[in-house]
């Protein structure tokens, strides 16, 4: 699985012009499943996101996780994180898991992240045409890949 995590002051998802989800200070997590991903990838990635220390402590160092600051989390599915432009200018998405595999992995990621944080996370809607708005804080943006364990 692959995730792009953004530290945000706020973030929201709208679908068909209607707000679906909104968070205040916390994390916007764009996540995608790869063809060969498994529950092990879900467990590793959700734990990494939950414990990612990208919020400032009293000394101004990035040393706090989202739970340490009572922050919120918004998770949005985004298969385009596995886009390949190796051959030409039109992206290929062959590495992205098909919906029948990706939906259960996405739902498991959301459930596991919520359990790790001890509270519900907000979500987009899988495969919906979403408009995502955010106010990036920092900006701080981190990419994580469960295959590479980084």
Catalytic annotation present for 79: yes
Look at 9 and 150; give whichever has higher pLDDT.
9
Choosing from 6, 55, 78, 123, the catalytic residue is 78
**Count of beta carbons in the 10 Å neighbourhood of residue 118:** 8
Rounded to an integer, the average pLDDT of 124-133 is 96
Three-state SS for the chain is CEEEEEEEEEEEEEECCEEEEEECCEEEEEEECECCCCHHHHHHHHHHHHHCCCEECCCCCEEECHHHHCCEEEEEECHHHHCECCCCCCCECCCECCHHHHHHHHHHHHHHHHHHHCCCCEECCCCCCEEEEEEEEEEEEEEEECCCCC
Choosing from 6, 55, 79, 82, the catalytic residue is 79
Catalytic annotation present for 6: no
Whole-angstrom Cα distance, residue 121 to residue 74? 6
Kindly indicate the confidence band of residue 129, based on its pLDDT and cuts at 50, 70 and 90: very high
pLDDT at 134: 98
Question: Looking at the predicted structure, is the pLDDT value of residue 150 above 90?
Answer: no
Tens-place pLDDT, residues 71-128: 999 999 999 999 999 998 999 999 999 999 999 999 999 999 999 999 999 999 999 9
Tens-place pLDDT, residues 39-77: 999 999 999 999 999 999 999 999 999 999 999 999 999
Catalytic annotation present for 78: yes
Of 110, 104, 121, nearest to 11 by C-alpha is 121
Whole-angstrom Cα distance, residue 30 to residue 6? 8
pTM of the model: 0.95
């Amino acid at each position: 699985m692959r995730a792009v995590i953004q530290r945000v002051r706020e973030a929201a998802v709208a679908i068909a012009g209607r707000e679906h989800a909104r968070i205040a200070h916390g994390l916007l997590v764009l996540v995608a499943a790869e063809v060969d991903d498994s529950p092990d990838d879900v467990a590793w990635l959700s734990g990494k996101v939950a414990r990612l220390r990208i919020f400032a402590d009293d000394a101004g160092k990035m040393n706090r996780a989202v739970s340490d600051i009572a922050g919120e989390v918004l998770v949005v599915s985004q298969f385009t994180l596995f886009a390949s432009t190796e051959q030409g200018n039109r992206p290929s998405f062959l590495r992205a898991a098909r919906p029948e595999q990706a939906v259960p992995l996405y739902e498991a990621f959301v459930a596991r992240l919520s359990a790790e944080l001890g509270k519900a996370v907000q979500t987009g809607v899988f495969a919906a045409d979403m408009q995502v708005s955010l106010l990036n804080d920092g900006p701080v943006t981190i990419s994580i890949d469960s295959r590479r364990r980084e």
